[in-house]
């Protein structure tokens, strides 16, 4: 039996997302990187040459002037990844898209298009959007509450999966002699009527080589974990300490099994920002330099506001007790906001102290010479904290340092692939191809069991 192996994905920073406040100033980073498709193609091709599983692109649909540099001016993920698809052949392409601010038919069609363009390499990171200001960009008075957003997300995924099964795999005989392009018995309407959506279907696009895009999710709350156990095939986990990562990993796998699914068919990725140097001391010095480059109190204060619906904390006295903003948590990032409020109350912290603590220096375990970083990755992997790492590097040079120094060590230890085993994202992640529900029904097979 072959040894279990690590999955690696790449999360490009552009000119700097949350916490990377000084990245745009780095002379190695083009000031228009976040809107330059060549930047993404270059990184994607480097990741593919290293045999990574996927390129992961984040997104949001609300900004103000205090938002991170990358958020202010960036490409729409599905458009971006469709372009990247034509310059890669094996790398998975995972786009973030909101279930709160999209319609199922339209998004299902766009994701299916990426899946076909890429030959079966598309993934969808389902988010419910915690930026409350997004509602005003869609003509709504206010952002949906937490429970409603997750209920909508679950139904959204169910509808999308139903639409992706509109055509059976043999729906297009294209038989000239019989004058039969489509076999109409292989085309199916959805006729979904639910709490949040009414969608007739069918979708006017066929299935890809991997059947359907891979569903990713990043929930930490009780609702998020329950949602993941029901429908997710990949998870972007919160990370934290080794013990915290172990606890989260075990909880998700347990919930997945309880939902009647195979726990091996949900891949948990933790975030990792390795810093690789010639020596451990050199890497640690660089880690400190990165913190110093990004340590901007004003930006950290603005970043704190995102968990509370882009709330402007600058209107408060910084040295007074943390303000009472609990009412903003329900329609924002409830899990993170609640944790901030509870800690501030428990430790009697001022607003300044909360903002400083959120931007404080935290060591990452994946820092050091190549052997040191590889050792840490192996320790965490064998301890049952992740199936994969969603890697983020500030520059192309730092990605190359990891690929050239750490990846060969992981390969020698049998922890990372030496070649791609599939042309699809599902294949490389070891996930099953979902059986078309209509074909399964005709054969008397439970499609949900086959795909779980």
Amino acid 309: pLDDT = 76
pLDDT the model gives residue 338: 86
Angle at 195 between CA 189 and CA 198, to 5 degrees: 30
What does the pLDDT average to over 249-277? 97
How far apart CA 294 and CA 286 sit, in angstroms, is: 12
Tell me which residue of 414, 417, 411 sits closest to 429, measured CA to CA.
417
pLDDT of residue 328: 79
Query: Is residue 132 predicted with pLDDT exceeding 80?
Result: no
**pLDDT by residue (tens digit) across 136-158?**
888 887 888 878 889 999 999 99
Same-domain check for residues 199 and 266: yes
Rounded CA separation 71/76 (Å): 11
Residues 218 and 337 in one domain: no
Beta-carbon contacts of 238 under 8 Å, excluding residues fewer than 6 positions away, are 220, 244, 248
288 within a domain of the structure (yes/no):
no
The whole-number average pLDDT for the span 113-128 is 97
Count of structural domains within the chain? 2
Final residue of a structural domain among 341, 358, 375: 358
The domain boundary, picked from 358, 377, 392, lies at 358
Q: Which residues are annotated as a binding site for FMN?
A: 59, 96, 150, 221
Pair 252, 327 in one domain: no
Please name every residue paired with 56 in a beta bridge, in sequence order, or none if there are none: 94
Classify residue 290: in a domain, yes or no.
no
In degrees, rounded to 5, the angle at the alpha carbon of residue 274 between the alpha carbons of residues 241 and 72 is: 95
184 and 308 co-located in one domain: no
Per-residue pLDDT, averaged over 14-28, amounts to 94
In a domain, 78, yes or no: yes
Residue 301 lies in a domain: yes
Tell me the binding residues. 59, 96, 150, 221
Query: Is residue 286 included in any domain, yes or no?
Result: no
Q: Left if phi > 0, otherwise alpha if psi is -120 to 50, otherwise beta: which for 353?
A: alpha
- Longest alpha-carbon distance in the chain: 81
Residue pLDDT, tens place only, 24-60: 999 999 999 999 999 999 999 999 999 999 999 999 8
Residue 1 within any structural domain of the chain: no
Q: How far apart are CA 167 and CA 185, in angstroms?
A: 9
- Boundaries of domain holding 354: 296-358
User: Are residues 181 and 95 part of one domain?
Assistant: yes
Q: Same domain, yes or no, for 311 and 266?
A: no
d(CA 312, CA 331): 15
Mean pLDDT value across residues 348-361: 86
Residue 166 lies in a domain: yes
Mean pLDDT, rounded, of the chain: 93
Last residue of a domain, one of 337, 358, 379: 358
The four Cα atoms 430, 431, 436, 437 give a dihedral, to 10 degrees, of: 140
pLDDT, mean of residues 249-267: 97
Single pTM value for the model: 0.93
Give the least confident one: 130-134, 273-277, 362-366. Answer: 130-134
Q: Are residues 45 and 74 in the same domain?
A: yes
Asked if residue 344 and residue 332 are part of one domain, the reply reads yes
Query: In angstroms, rounded to a whole number, what is the distance separating the alpha carbons of residues 43 and 11?
Result: 9
Pair (395, 366) in one structural domain: yes
Domain match, 389 and 337 both: no
Q: Using CA atoms, how far apart are residues 171 and 187, in angstroms rounded to an integer?
A: 7
Token representation of residue 341: 């409020």
Name the residue with higher pLDDT: 246 or 141.
246
- Asked whether residue 399 is domain-assigned, the answer is yes
pLDDT at 203: 98
Are residues 395 and 255 part of one domain?
yes
Residues listed for the chain: 452
* CATH number of the domain that residue 194 is part of: 3.20.20.30
Q: Tell me if the bond preceding 202 is cis, omega within 30° of 0.
A: yes
Question: Which distant-in-sequence residues (6+ apart) come within 8 Å of 315 by Cβ?
Answer: none
Same domain, 419 and 333: no
């Amino acid at each position: 039996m072959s040894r279990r192996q690590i999955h690696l994905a790449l999360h490009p920073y552009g000119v700097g997302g949350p916490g990377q406040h000084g990245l745009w100033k780095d002379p190695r980073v083009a000031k228009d990187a976040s809107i330059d498709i060549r930047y993404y193609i270059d990184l994607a091709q480097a990741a593919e040459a290293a045999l990574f599983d996927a390129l992961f692109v984040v997104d949001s649909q609300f900004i103000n002037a205090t938002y991170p540099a990358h958020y202010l001016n960036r490409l729409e993920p599905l458009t971006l990844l469709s372009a990247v698809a034509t310059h890669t052949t094996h790398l998975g392409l995972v786009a973030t898209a909101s279930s709160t601010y999209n319609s199922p038919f339209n998004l299902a069609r766009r994701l299916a298009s990426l899946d076909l363009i890429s030959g079966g390499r598309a993934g969808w990171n389902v988010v419910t959007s915690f930026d409350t200001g997004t509602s005003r960009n869609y003509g709504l008075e206010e952002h949906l509450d937490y429970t409603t957003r997750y209920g909508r997300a679950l139904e959204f995924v169910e509808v999308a999966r139903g639409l992706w099964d509109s055509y059976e795999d043999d729906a297009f005989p294209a038989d000239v002699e019989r004058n039969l392009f489509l076999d109409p018995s292989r085309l199916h309407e959805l006729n979904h009527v639910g709490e949040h959506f009414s969608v007739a279907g069918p979708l006017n696009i066929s299935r890809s080589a991997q059947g359907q895009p891979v569903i990713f999710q990043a929930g930490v709350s009780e609702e998020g974990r329950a949602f993941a156990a029901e429908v997710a095939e990949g998870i972007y986990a919160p990370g934290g300490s080794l013990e915290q990562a172990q606890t989260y990993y075990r909880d998700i796998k347990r919930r997945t099994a309880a939902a009647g699914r195979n726990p091996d068919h949900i891949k948990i990725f933790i975030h990792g920002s390795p810093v690789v140097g010639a020596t451990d001391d050199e890497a640690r010095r660089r880690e400190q330099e990165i913190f110093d480059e990004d340590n901007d109190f004003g930006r950290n204060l603005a970043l704190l506001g995102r968990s509370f619906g882009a709330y402007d904390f600058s209107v408060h006295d910084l040295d007074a007790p943390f303000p009472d903003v609990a009412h903003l948590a329900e329609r924002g990032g409830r899990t993170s906001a609640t944790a901030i409020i509870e800690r501030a109350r428990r430790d009697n912290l001022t607003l300044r102290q909360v903002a400083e603590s959120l931007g404080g220096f935290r060591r990452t375990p994946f820092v050091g010479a190549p052997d040191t970083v590889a050792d840490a990755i192996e320790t965490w992997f064998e301890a049952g904290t992740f199936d994969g790492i969603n890697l983020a590097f500030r520059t192309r040079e730092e990605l190359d340092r990891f690929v050239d120094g750490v990846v060969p060590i992981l390969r020698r230890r049998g922890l990372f692939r030496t070649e791609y085993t599939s042309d699809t994202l599902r294949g490389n992640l070891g996930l099953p191809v979902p059986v078309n529900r209509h074909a399964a029904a005709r054969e008397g097979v439970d499609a949900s069991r086959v795909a779980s």
